[in-house]
Amino acid sequence: MLRFANPKKFLDLSGALLPWLWLGAIGLMGWGLYAALFATPADYQQGDSVRIMYIHVPSAWMASFIYGFMFIASVVGLVWKHPLADTAAKEAAPIGACFTAACLITGSLWGKPTWGTYWIWDARLTSVLVLFFLYLGYMGVWAAIEDRAKAARAAAILCVVGVINIPIIRFSVEWWDTLHQGPSVVRFENGKLAPSIDPSMLWPLLAVAVGCTLLFFALLFVRMRTDIARRRIRTLMTMKAAA
């Protein structure tokens, strides 16, 4: 895996993968969102408000997944000092912040008709809000420190410390009494992990979730390639100024 972290190899590999990632993301998200709005049935209890699930749940999954990805990249950056690991974590953060913001706002819009309120300080909602602030703090550290190596180290430490919030988000609905429902897409039943929603709802939900994951990697690769190009521009400008 680490041999693909060489910038030259990364540029070659990401260049070859990008068209497929875009294609997959557009195809899956396009079909999933179309089905979510026009083809899936309304819920027997929640009615048509359940359609918000198809964007809220994938956004929530992406919010945690991207932070987990940043955590791994930060550890690799801290331990092996690999410059691409820092770049990966740095460029993933704005994407994660966008998905977290989308999760919070769509959840709030789903909460009003379902719970009767846009917001409540329960453990799940509050821990996701903390995740959003962690993303902002992480980006703030990168923006505030001019020296790239120092910024990468400080941001990576913040990311590693902040990862404690991920299990809190995951288990908040089991550890505390929350207004937010417990895990309901897949459940342990009779010792087996099984989907708890009808396939007519499950497939569009999975399509949007996988589409969002492919979109994340497409955006991440474009952003990392741009960061590498930006560093090259800085080097060329310095060489030009010195000549």
Residues that bind other proteins (CB under 8 A): 33, 37-38, 47-49, 51-52, 55-56, 59, 94-95, 98-99, 101-102, 105-106, 109-110, 112-113, 212, 215, 219, 222-223, 225-226, 229-230, 232-233, 236-237, 239-240
Write down the least CB distance from residue 102 to other proteins, Å.
Answer: 4
First to last CA, the chain: 39
Write down the least CB distance from residue 176 to other proteins, Å.
Answer: 26
Q: Which long-range contacts (CB under 8 A, 24 or more apart) does 4-11 make?
A: 5/82, 5/84, 5/85, 6/84, 7/83, 7/84, 7/228, 10/84, 10/224, 10/228, 11/225, 11/228
Closer CB to other proteins, residue 14 or residue 127? 14
CB 50 within 8 A of CB 43: yes
Closer CB to other proteins, residue 13 or residue 79? 13
* Residue 189 to residue 192: CA distance in whole angstroms: 5
Write down the least CB distance from residue 177 to other proteins, Å.
Answer: 25
At 195 the three-state DSSP class reads strand
Write down the least CB distance from residue 65 to other proteins, Å.
Answer: 15
Closer CB to other proteins, residue 153 or residue 216? 216
